[in-house]
Structures are given as structure tokens and as C-alpha cells.
Amino acid sequence: MEAMLRLGVFIGILLLMVILEALSPTRHLSIPRRQRWTINLGLAALNAGVMRISIGAAAWLAANWAVEQQLGLFNILPVPNGLNILLSLLLLDLGIYTQHVAAHRWQWFWRLHQVHHSDIDFDTTTAVRFHPLEIMLSMLYKILLVIALGADPLAVIAFEIILNGCALFNHGNVSLPPLVERGLRYLLVTPDMHRIHHSARQAETDSNYGFSLSCWDRLFKTYCHQSQQAQTEMTIGLNEFRDRQELSFLQLLAMPFRALRKR
């Protein structure tokens, strides 16, 4: 039931973003959708299959186990249930922000994460372009975080849905009205904000790490308000990976195991 709920919301938001991208795109894509989407959605399908047969619902199961064993911060402290859910959502989001920073600063982690950043276009399918090992590592990290917090199981389900939905939204090749974009950015990571994170300029790549809430980047001084180049002109991806032959499905799976190129 939990998995079907997440899948249903994911597919619904994905379809909505694809429609919005067709109606009001920000950038002209340099690679045909069929070529990129086959790779990005292929990675998503592979990751879903790997997680299905391994540790797919482990974060939710870990939350239930922590409640049964009375483990974790919120199972030890007398925290009202509503506050437990709110704090769990906030701290889990902070945890994902921290993980994202680590993915850029630790070379062994960057080997995996560069698969995501190697996309030389930017649209909602970029949100699911991850190496399977990074997906599994992220889930193990979330399991430990959930147990340490004693997060409410409902909060864990809600967090997974929010995280996936926000990732599809803020990777969208959509053009929001300037007033809406500026106002929304005070709370959430917007496409214009996250597109800066996918700039080929390393100073911009190493900024705007948030996936859902935008407050963490401001709080920890990793926020970049505007890219050096216009959003429609900035180079997307990694300078060290511009050859399309190196960005095929099988090449992306092998990428973390090759010599790390200078950024």
C-alpha cells in the first residue's frame, strides 16, 4: 500500500511536469527527448527494480520497528504526535541536504553522484537520473536517520512523497512567472534555483543543495541567488563529460568505477 501510494503520486507529478514543460519551457533542449528519457527513465526503472528486491520500503519499516522498540529521539522524549511529524519532516529534509553536501565534497561519494550531474540537459527526468549504488546508499542513510530520530512512520511516508515530488518539480524545465518564482523560493527550491546547481561552473554546482526546503542553503551559506549566465544560456552538466557517447546507459553505470576526472 505504501509503495503504491508513492508510485501513484510520483507518476502523477511526473506527467504534470512533462505537460508543463511542453507548454512553457525555460530552455531549448540540446538532445532529443527520446534519447535522454530512455537513459534517465531507464535508470529510474533499474533503481526501482533494485530497491524492490532489496531494501525498497526499509525506511518505513525502520520507523515502525523504532516505534515498537522505543528507539530514537522522538520515541524517548514526550513529544506530541503532531510535533513529532513536523519535526521529523524538517530534520529528515535537513538530513538530505547534509547528504547532498557530502556527495559533492567527498570524492568517493562524488564518483556516484556525478552520474546525476552529467546530464547535459535539465528537465524533470533529470530528477531520477541516479546511479543504483547512490540510491541504495541514500536509503541506508535514511534508515539510520529515521531510527536515530524515532521518526513517525506517517512522517516517513509523507517525506518520501514530498521529496520525490519536489525533486520532479525543481528539476523541471518550466518557466514560472517571476513574481511566483521569487515568492515560492522563500519556502521551496524552485526550478530556477536548482538549475543553478546543475551549472557547469563548479562554484555554482557547489551551491543550492536543497531538494525541498530552500531555508537550509540560506542558513548554511550555500545559497546562490543568480547564475553568472542567464538561465537560458548557462551550460548544464559537467565540463569533463560532454561527449554523448560517454553518457550512454551502460557508460553511466560504469562511470563511478573509472578514473575520477578533474572538475
**Residue whose C-alpha is closest to residue 128's, from 38, 225, 250, 200:** 38
User: What is the CA angle 91-95-99, rounded to 5?
Assistant: 170
pTM comes to 0.93
**Angle between helices 153-170 and 2-23 in degrees, nearest 10:** 20
CA gap 130, 47 in Å, rounded: 8
pLDDT at 32: 87
Sequence-separated (6 or more) residues with CB below 8 Å from residue 158:
85, 89
pLDDT at 56: 58
> Average pLDDT for consecutive 10-residue bins of the chain (263 residues)?
76 94 92 92 92 73 90 89 92 97 97 97 97 95 95 92 95 94 95 97 97 96 95 94 91 93 76
Instruction: Write the Ramachandran bin of 234: left for phi over 0, alpha for psi from -120 to 50, otherwise beta.
Output: beta
pLDDT at 238: 96
pLDDT at 261: 81
pLDDT at 18: 95
pLDDT at 252: 97
